[in-house]
Amino acid sequence: MNTILSAAQSRPSISIAFLLSSALLLTSCQSSSSSAELTHELAPFPTLMIDNGDGFVVIAHRGASGYAPENTMPAMELAYEMNAEMIEVDVMLSSDGVPVLFHDAKVDELTDGSGNLKDFTLQELQALDAGSWFDEAYAGTPIPTLEELLIWAQGKMTLNIEIKTEAYREALSESVEPRVIALVEQYDMADQVLFSSFDYRILARLKELAPSIPAAVLYEPVQSARKGPVTVVNSLQADGFNCSVREYSEQWQQELTQSSIPVLIYTVNEREQMAELIQRGVQGIFSDYPDVLAEVAAEELPTP
Ligand code: G3P
Ligand code: MG
């Protein structure tokens, strides 16, 4: 019945062993029920630095990644020019522990290098060309650090910082969570960011270390152990539910709406799907084309 189920999406690479252990953890929490109720207070949704007041958030996925190389500063600048109300970025760790913006485990597809990103020092990463693969006009564009993005975005653009499972380290002191929290606090941006992750271990640590910074579940079916969305949000003390357009059902929407849990849907690049989701009442959509999404939102929603 709904045409929303056809968007192309890539799956995150998460090891089977940890998926199973996380799923067992979650299984021992609440039982599944379509009428699950929220059991904790949600941290407030981040303040939008750009907001047209229609109650819907236009999110640039990896920056304006339909027009510039994803997760680079030119993609951030374009998203800002296009009046995106939030930018989503992916965060990984260099071998010397610096959070950088990058999506893939390997650098091969998105740079002129090859190998696993986590094996490169920051200096080695910064020598890579992260722009030519997209267009020669972007030759020499570097991989940005998260700190560089925060300096650019402070007081200017609200961020969804998605933390990739490859940035998780068993030893907390070597892992991504305290490093990202420290940077957000250093730049006084706790009310200007939304954390998210497909890796529920990372989410649990984020909420434990910084409960007042909002963090959304990025729905991952195995770790969720067939639980409904509200139960998963409860289990992680999370503040929102981010979900693939392919997985988001009417039933989930009803459950989440009843509990007033913010829902953000990725990645939607077709006008029809955008309009359908906006009519269904989602709080925000991630798109590689934030200008198109803003146009559709303006058509579908009354502006104050
Ligand atoms: O955070 C939403 C979306 O970006 C999740 O998927 O693979 O594009 O990072 P991915
Ligand atoms: Mg992402």
How far from 156 is each of 70, 99, 127, 139, 211, CA to CA, in Å?
Answer: 19, 21, 28, 27, 24
Residue 48 lies in a domain: yes
Residue 165 Cα to ligand 1 midpoint, Å, equals: 12
Element holding 32 (H helix, E strand): none
> Which residue, by CA, sits nearest to atom 1 of ligand 1?
162
Catalytic site positions: 61, 103
Assess whether the C-beta atom of 200 lies below 6 angstroms from ligand 1: no
Assess whether the C-beta atom of 244 lies below 6 angstroms from ligand 1: no
Ligand in closest contact with the CA of 9: 1
Residue 101 backbone phi and psi in degrees, to 5: -90, 115
Contact yes or no for 51/230 (Cβ under 8 A): no
Range of the domain at 232: 17-23+42-101+145-300
**pLDDT the model gives residue 22:** 52
Residue 304 Cα to ligand 2 midpoint, Å, equals: 31
Residue 125 lies in a domain: no
How far from 200 is each of 66, 161, 164, 230, CA to CA, in Å?
Answer: 29, 15, 11, 15
Residue 64 lies in a domain: yes
Residue 118 lies in a domain: no
Residue 266 Cα to ligand 1 midpoint, Å, equals: 7
Residue 29 lies in a domain: no
Contact yes or no for 242/266 (Cβ under 8 A): yes
**pLDDT the model gives residue 226:** 87
Contact yes or no for 93/176 (Cβ under 8 A): yes
Measured over all CA atoms, what is the biggest interatomic distance in the chain, rounded to whole angstroms?
A: 53
Give the number of the atom of ligand 1 that is nearest the alpha carbon of residue 218.
1
Assess whether the C-beta atom of 220 lies below 6 angstroms from ligand 1: no
Would you give per-residue pLDDT tens digits along the chain (304 residues)? 233 323 333 334 455 554 444 554 454 444 444 558 999 999 999 999 999 999 999 999 999 999 999 999 999 999 999 999 999 999 999 999 999 999 999 999 999 999 999 999 999 999 999 999 999 999 999 999 999 999 999 999 999 999 999 999 999 999 999 999 999 999 999 999 999 999 999 999 999 999 999 999 999 999 999 899 999 999 999 999 999 999 999 999 999 999 999 999 999 999 999 999 999 999 999 999 999 999 999 999 987 6
Assess whether the C-beta atom of 268 lies below 6 angstroms from ligand 1: no
Contact yes or no for 49/286 (Cβ under 8 A): no
Residue 135 lies in a domain: no
Q: Which of 149, 181, 187 is nearest to 163 (CA)?
A: 181
> Which residue, by CA, sits nearest to atom 2 of ligand 1?
266
Contact yes or no for 257/284 (Cβ under 8 A): no
Assess whether the C-beta atom of 88 lies below 6 angstroms from ligand 1: yes
Residue 33 lies in a domain: no
Domains in the chain, number: 1
Residue 90 Cα to ligand 2 midpoint, Å, equals: 5
Residue 218 Cα to ligand 1 midpoint, Å, equals: 8
C-alpha count within 13 angstroms, C-beta hemisphere, residue 248: 27
Assess whether the C-beta atom of 90 lies below 6 angstroms from ligand 1: yes
Residue 130 lies in a domain: no
CATH number (domain holding residue 195): 3.20.20.190
Task: Note the pTM of the prediction, 2 decimals.
Answer: 0.90
